[in-house]
Amino acid sequence: MKLTARIAGAAGISLIAVAALAHGGATGIVMERMDGMSAMAKVMKALAPMMQGTAAYDAATVRSGAAQIADHAGEAMTAKFPEDTSGGASEAKPEIWQDWEDFAGLARQLEVFAEGLEAAADNGVGGMPAQGNMMGNSTMMGGQGMMASGGMMGGQAPMMTAEQLGQMPADMAFAMVSQSCTACHSRFRAEDK
């Protein structure tokens, strides 16, 4: 539970920072994608206290928030990154287009994780499962499961389905959504200008 709370807290802080950035001069598709990222950050900020146990848990709010994230992820996200839309007000690194498969994989993964969180909303918070089998016989932070090569960091489709994720406690699914955001931002988002 403490690990999940720390992950959720870190996600909330990093996503609040994203939302706080001005869209200074952004227009068109760049503004649209910044607005989408801000909407997802707002959801993560609202859900984080529930996942940390510092606010009352509300399954309907989790379900609705997860659906909003899923709506902005996957193809909806990649469609907002046509070539030659970096620079200026954009925070997108050129690596997005150089490593398009990895970027698109992380966008798809975020969609699946958000759909999994939506399905897990009625499970409440409960921390990490007793065994690591949900993560491919590993832990979230190491080993050869979902978070290692071929999983989240590899940018490929997740090894788990939204239905499988829906069997987890909601805070664990939320942590996976958060880690997906962090993985993408660390590779493909420029630091504050």
pLDDT digits (tens, 9 = 90+) for 39-52: 999 999 999 999 99
Instruction: Evaluate whether residue 193 is within a structural domain.
Output: no
Q: Is the pLDDT of residue 13 over 60?
A: no
Q: Give dist(CA 131, CA 138) in Å, integer.
A: 9
142-171, pLDDT tens digit by residue? 333 343 334 444 444 447 899 999 999 999
Summarised one tens digit per residue, pLDDT across range 179-193 is 999 999 999 998 764
Contact 183, 99 (CB under 8 A): no
**Separation CA 34–CA 135 (nearest Å):** 31
- Partnered with residue 33 across adjacent β-strands are none
Number of domains in the chain: 1
CATH number at residue 24: 1.20.120.10
| CB neighbour list of residue 158: distance below 8 Å, 6 or more residues apart | 109, 112, 113, 146, 151, 152
Look at residue 32 and tell me if it is in a domain.
yes
pLDDT at residue 8 tops 60: no
pLDDT for 20 beyond 50: no
Give the pLDDT mean for 31-36. Answer: 91
Q: What is the mean pLDDT of the chain?
A: 78
Q: How high is the pLDDT of residue 43?
A: 97
Q: What are phi and psi of 189, to 5 degrees?
A: -115, 130
Confidence of residue 30 (pLDDT cuts 50, 70, 90): confident
Q: Are 187 and 102 in contact (CB under 8 A)?
A: yes
The Cα diameter of the chain in Å comes to 49
d(Cα 78, Cα 94) in Å, to the nearest integer?
14
Share of the chain above pLDDT 90, in %: 57
d(CA 73, CA 176): 14
Residue 103 belongs to some domain of the structure = yes
d(CA 142, CA 114): 22
Say what the pLDDT of residue 7 is.
56
d(CA 191, CA 193): 6
Give residue 3's pLDDT.
Answer: 54
Query: Does 82 have pLDDT greater than 70?
Result: yes
Strand partners, 92: 189
Please determine, for residue 34, whether its predicted confidence score (pLDDT) is greater than 50. yes
Q: Is pLDDT at 2 greater than 60 in this prediction?
A: no
Selection from 46, 182, 187 nearest residue 113 by Cα = 182
**Tens digits of per-residue pLDDT, 83-127?**
887 777 788 899 999 999 999 999 999 999 999 999 999 999 986
Task: Give me the domain span that covers residue 59.
Answer: 2-188
Please check whether residue 90 lies inside any domain of the structure: yes
Cut 0.75: pTM above it: no
